[in-house]
A and B are shown apart, each in its own frame.
Chain A
């Protein structure tokens, strides 16, 4: 009998202990897994940024900030930043502008609007790498269908991604084609939830549609626009699969973003230390951009 009571007592003591500290025990497995797959790699990556290490050739050697000094003097880093700013600036601006315009258009009820919207979001729903492979074939200057169509209606063929001057605009075009629907969807949801009273008041006061858009819709939708821009920029600034599939950064390094370059350094040249340092630079760029955007958004909501 005694033994049994003792055991029960021990069990209830344990269960009381656990009960009181539920907030530690229940998330523990998840925390452990997250620690293993997220925190550890990040910490290891941070450690690597201060080392020189070619995979296979000895152990990582601590070299302090040398990787960052090297990055500063590396022409390809600056080229990568330039391509990143060019590509992201152009594609984000176009996607935001077109996304907003198309959302405004879809916001009016018209016959078959649902069917049109469904077709319109197909590019956004498609698998990025598969889509990029198709674009790569379509853009081929010799056997691609785009040049075939252009020449069959009497227009001159283009070099598209095979020309160092046209490669980034072409990639921007593909990115805009694929991602504008996402911006549209977010903005459309925002438009649908706007209050109707300011519009009625404006109409009574005799405002024209342009004035209504400029003085009412745009200020009201601004926080949503910035949120959409932030969401999109997270992916866009480190765009990889599409560029890698279509050009691998070529011709030469004409479409090699900083992110692609850091991939090449890490997994093409096996220079894990320098590659990690470049990844950290990309991370900082994305972070700074998003902090700025977040501040803009907060200011916008305060209005």
Chain B
């Protein structure tokens, strides 16, 4: 009897020590029990994915999470107004490439580095190195991380595999080849319809999002070493001119009015041999209900510029923490951000169609088993690796400078004097730039 007792006690002791050993690798998830936090979110597929799982987090931590989600158009206005008026917001979704400088200047972003470095606050399994470096950088301002990526995007060249095979064309790897291939296909008749070589966005400010990949690959940049507009440089002018010429000569009619919706529908109608736009539009191209080219599309990274540069951009939505919140609620908000971006949730979101910023999600067996377009995945991975996080002008007044930039793109598409237009835009940009 005594022996038996001893044994039970020993076994019990062993168990407790085992539990505490495994617990030592874990943070105390209950440390903010009873706190209530409020997150504003864009009604994005990630939000749709995470909302039903929030109950799990609440059970794990005892933190009450209130999520309010709005459609994107309203979301930005709503968020700006709430943050501006000091509403009780503890965390929110942000598109850093668009708003990080504005929000950081307005004092709305809490740096996350201290939380990430604190072993009491951040679980080892969260593994910050698992995120693509390009996205961690994209969610940083002045070297401080201000958000954690929840939706990772880039842009890709998509092309008609069937037409390329039929006409024995190679996938272009340089800008020169891109132009030649577009020229080759332009005007070719396929099934009684005349093809265009390539379709791109041409509508003023909207066009800058993809044009910027051409800018970087041509060796250009938004600003020069002195922080002035770089538009008048030969590299920038070459990028404007190449993009405009490509769309005018080998693109659909009325290039200056093409937004992504018009451009992608031309491609999905089977009217274009190639398109350069966001990689996530794969979901549109490959949807057999809406697209005539589903199953016929191949994907590649942007062709290299004259000096061999291939520099696409990456863009993302991130979760951030409000600076105006209290330390106690910020801690709880960090626990939530950490949980929402852990390996399991990032993989779950990817399987639900939200591109993940974690390498492990893409490398997983679950994803690979379901991957119907491995060449899209391969091109996306490559683009994530080499992607630039800065896809907008490095200023606070992003929309205004994008608008100025868009005018040069429009002039280039219309075949006007690009150098003159670029010089004029450079002057205007120097005058209007706010940092």
Contact = CB atoms under 8 A, between A and B. Distances in A.
Interface of A: 54-57, 140-143, 157, 159-164, 247-248, 250-253, 264, 268-271
B254 A250 contact: no
A253 B256 contact: no
Contacts of B83: 56
Contacts of A162: 253-257
A159 to B, nearest CB: 5
B377 interface: no
Contacts of A141: 252-254
Interface string B262-283: 1001100101000000000000
A54 B262 contact: no
B75 interface: no
A56 B80 contact: yes
A285 to B, nearest CB: 23
Most buried by A among B105, B254, B403: B254
Contacts of B266: 142-143
Contacts of A56: 80, 83-84, 102, 106
B256 A250 contact: yes
Contacts of A253: 407
A251 B257 contact: yes
B396 interface: yes
A247 B257 CA distance: 8
Nearest to A57: B106
A264 B253 CA distance: 26
Interface of B: 80, 83-84, 102, 105-106, 203-204, 252-257, 262, 265-266, 269, 271, 396-397, 399-400, 403, 406-407, 410-411, 414, 434
Contacts of B102: 56-57
A54 B271 CA distance: 43
Nearest to A58: B106
B427 to A, nearest CB: 11
B256 A251 contact: yes
Contacts of A264: 403
Nearest to B398: A269
B265 A252 contact: no
A239 B396 CA distance: 31
Given A56-B102, A268-B399, A142 B252 contact: yes
Given A55-B80, A252-B407, A140 B256 contact: no
B410 A251 contact: yes
Contact of A140 (B254, B396, B399, B403): B254
A271 B399 CA distance: 11
Q: Tell me whether chain A's interface is mostly helix, strand or loop, or mixed.
A: loop
Contact of B411 (A250, A252, A269): A252
Most buried by B among A142, A268, A269: A142
3 shortest interchain CB distances as A-B pairs: A162-B254, A251-B256, A252-B410
A253 B106 CA distance: 30
A268 B410 CA distance: 19
12 contacts: A57-B106, A141-B252, A141-B253, A162-B255, A163-B254, A164-B414, A248-B203, A251-B256, A251-B414, A268-B400, A269-B397, A269-B400
A251 B407 CA distance: 9
A143 B269 contact: yes
A143 B272 CA distance: 13
A252 B410 CA distance: 6
B254 A57 contact: no
A142 B410 contact: no
A142 B271 contact: yes
Contacts of A54: 396-397, 434
Nearest to B421: A252
A270 B83 CA distance: 15
Nearest to B253: A141
A149 to B, nearest CB: 16
Nearest to A157: B253
Nearest to B406: A252
A252 B204 contact: yes
Given A142-B262, A163-B254, A269-B399, 5 more contacts: A56-B80, A141-B254, A161-B254, A250-B203, A252-B411
A162 B202 CA distance: 11
A122 B269 CA distance: 33
Contacts of B106: 56-57
Contacts of A159: 253-254
Nearest to B84: A56
Contacts of A143: 265-266, 269
B204 A250 contact: yes
Contacts of B269: 143
A161 B256 CA distance: 10
B203 to A, nearest CB: 6
